[in-house]
Amino acid sequence: MDNKRELFQIMTRRFGLLNKNCCTIGGCDISPIQSHILYEVDRQHKPSMQQIANTLGTDITTFSRQIQALIKMNLLNKTPDPSDRRVYTLSLTPEGKYVATTIDKQMNDYLDEAFSYMSLADQEMVLRSIHLLNEAMAKSDKCCRPIMG
Amino acid sequence: MDNKRELFQIMTRRFGLLNKNCCTIGGCDISPIQSHILYEVDRQHKPSMQQIANTLGTDITTFSRQIQALIKMNLLNKTPDPSDRRVYTLSLTPEGKYVATTIDKQMNDYLDEAFSYMSLADQEMVLRSIHLLNEAMAKSDKCCRPIMG
DNA sequence: TTCAATTAATTGTACTTTGCAAGTATTAGG
DNA sequence: CCTAATACTTGCAAAGTACAATTAATTGAA
């Protein structure tokens, strides 16, 4: 129980695999990165491209091309911000919303299944723990930041 | 507290970023995947290539090339298995061991820093929780498996 | 007001990563 | 033996990545 890194390494590997294998909806294959993008666009209110790219820690040039791909797949809208014409705000198309919702549901189903192997009390504890962990990591400035020095 | 996926999405993103930014030792840059490989080779006893590739869920062809890169960087040894000449077993060179140990230390330092924002009781709880979670995911057959249907 | 500095986003280019298909070599099983 | 299965490698093409440079718009200080 002493080596934190071991615990986290294995946990994050499992979720990486989960992300990898959870993203074929209808005809289209969604890569993990694209899934993350859809997720964040759904969560944030009319985000700009920079905003999402920073959140996800991707280079803006790579991000720009990912956005182009998602627009071509008809999952995303890019609209010029009237108050600052350098900025484009992102939003989900109805199809994009559907895909995002479906992925969300799939992920939750998978997680529910995994959680079913724990007692209710443990389930509670685990969720509370991850919540605490996320808060702690948000406070940290050396570790786990969207943008690192 | 209801949406599991949200909690996990954010947590895993942070650790993804941590992995991304934690791997420059001495002269050489280690990619997250390579760091995972070194970690697993260190952990398992004289593993074969297939073994590690399966553990990490990477295609064996991609994996083969990653191994070549790590050998070129002098971090890994690939020795033929005398009992089955199709098989190669992997082991760390002294340099590889050093790199693996250093990454481990860095990761633990980062995690310790994040944990320092929690009470000792919470730290305990979080570690216990992740442990439970890993066990639950290992039991699951739909979710989070090294190899998925 | 004006113009240099900053910011948001895109494009050119080059490099890396990835995985399928195909191939080699070895072992296992009928 | 000889077919099937396994471990690993290489060819190739597609996708992802990021640095450098560019465009366009905004900010701010002289």
Domains of chain A: 22-139 (1.10.10.10)
Distance CA A110, CA B85 (A): 40
What distances in angstroms separate CA B28 from CA A41, B25, B35, B74, one per listed residue?
Answer: 36, 6, 12, 11
* CA-based nearest distance B66→chain A, Å: 17
pLDDT of residue A69: 94
Q: Give the bases of strand D that a protein CB approaches within 7 Å.
A: 6-11, 15-21, 24-27
Strand D closer than 7 Å to the CB of A61? yes
What distances in angstroms separate CA B134 from CA A11, A54, A112, B35, B148, one per listed residue?
Answer: 6, 30, 14, 20, 17
- Nucleotide nearest residue A65, measured CA to C1': C10
Which region among A28-42, A70-84, B16-30 has the lowest average model confidence (pLDDT)? B16-30
Strand D closer than 7 Å to the CB of B140? no
Structure tokens at A60: 């803006």
Q: What is the mean pLDDT of residues A64-72?
A: 95
Which region among A2-6, A17-21, A83-87 has the lowest average model confidence (pLDDT)? A17-21
Structure tokens at B44: 């398992």
Cβ–Cβ gap A144/B12 under 8 Å: no
Residue A79 sits at φ, ψ, to 5 deg, of: -120, 135
pLDDT digits (tens, 9 = 90+) for A109-121: 889 999 999 999 9
What is the b/e burial string over A109-135, where b = at least 16 CB atoms within 10 angstroms of the residue's CB? ebbebbbebbeeebbebbbbbbbbbbe
Amino acid (1-letter code) at residue B42: D
Distance CA B145, CA B142 (A): 7
